[in-house]
Structure 1
Amino acid sequence: MKIHQFTVRVRYAETDQMGVVYHGNYAQYFEMGRVEWLRNLGLTYKEMESRGIMLPVVSLSLNFKKPARYDDLLTVKTIFKKQESVKIEFDYEIYNEQGELLTTGNSVLVFVDMKTGRPVTPPEYVTEKLLF
């Protein structure tokens, strides 16, 4: 299992009137985690798209345990779960500065050929990076 983590500080614009992170922003934190997870492997979304592959999210789930608040420094942990056929799956954990688990999540993405719009198996330059 390959894990990558990064930190992000909650901005005021990401919160609601109670100073709590609005639930829709967690999908962005997870996306940032995936982008950095791939970059850490030597891949980028930009490179894949320039080579005709996109990775749309087809499933996203979240489980809120405690609220994240304005100005919290969050640690977003992205965990590669599996890659099967045309799909790749990730789990996520978000912690506050005190190490408390705030949110967990999961996403499934599909490799898609940009020309045809159809699912495809990942290209070799991607799969060789996933074999760790």
Structure 2
Amino acid sequence: MAQEWHQHQMRVQYKDTDQMGVVHHGNYITWFEVARTEWMRHFDMSYHAIEEEGLLLPVLDVNAVYKSSARFDDLVVLFTRIEQYSPIRLVFEYEARRITEEDWKANGLNHATADEPYGELLTTGKTTHMWVNKAWKPVKLRKTHPELYEKIQRIAD
């Protein structure tokens, strides 16, 4: 079975728009971070708990491809899943999509995952991360935190 997408629904806030009335491009990067944090929380891997274990997961690279613009008060769903992983790196992929009120109600809080993204594609993106310790030295997760690595394997495969 293909990996499911985690979904996080939101409504575009006025503060996120620019003078042209559309969501400022930089906000999608913030949305990716929100989506990634919620993905981790859903799979019982909160950033807070991971950091308490001495692990950090900084961003090495971020990419966004803009297809269409979101506007104030649009309903948006952020889809997130793992694209690649290794004992040292983790790559997430994202899709931000505009949805209707009907989609909002039908696929809301009772549905944390979806087989496939739905709605109008706004933006796709990827973030690449590296596991490091608190001294910012690379960590091989399979050796230092095998339970966490096994959990990622189960989710991603």
Fold match by TM threshold 0.5? yes
Verify: 1:117 aligned to 2:136, yes or no.
Answer: yes
CA RMSD in angstroms, aligned pairs only: 1.1
1:1-132 matches, cutoff 5 A: 1-98=3-100, 99-114=119-134, 116-122=135-141, 123-132=145-154
TM-score, structure 2 normalization: 0.80
Give the deviation of 1:64 after TM superposition: 0.3
- What does the per-residue CA deviation read over 1:67-103, in whole Å, with 9 as the maximum and x for residues that have no partner? 0111111010002112113100011111101511010
Give the deviation of 1:131 after TM superposition: 2.4
Give the deviation of 1:2 after TM superposition: 4.2
Give the deviation of 1:47 after TM superposition: 0.4
Q: Which has the higher helix share?
A: 2
CA contact (8 A) 1:60 1:105 kept: yes
1:128 is matched by which residue type in structure 2? Answer: E
- What does the per-residue CA deviation read over 1:37-71, in whole Å, with 9 as the maximum and x for residues that have no partner? 11111110000111111111000000000001111
Runs of 4 or more, structure 1, over 2 Å off, are none
Q: Mind listing any 5+ residue stretches in structure 2 that lack a counterpart? A: 101-118
2:38 is matched by which residue type in structure 1? Answer: E
CA contact (8 A) 2:87 2:149 kept: no
1:67 is matched by which residue type in structure 2? Answer: S
Give the deviation of 1:119 after TM superposition: 1.1
The secondary structure found in structure 2 opposite 1:117 is coil
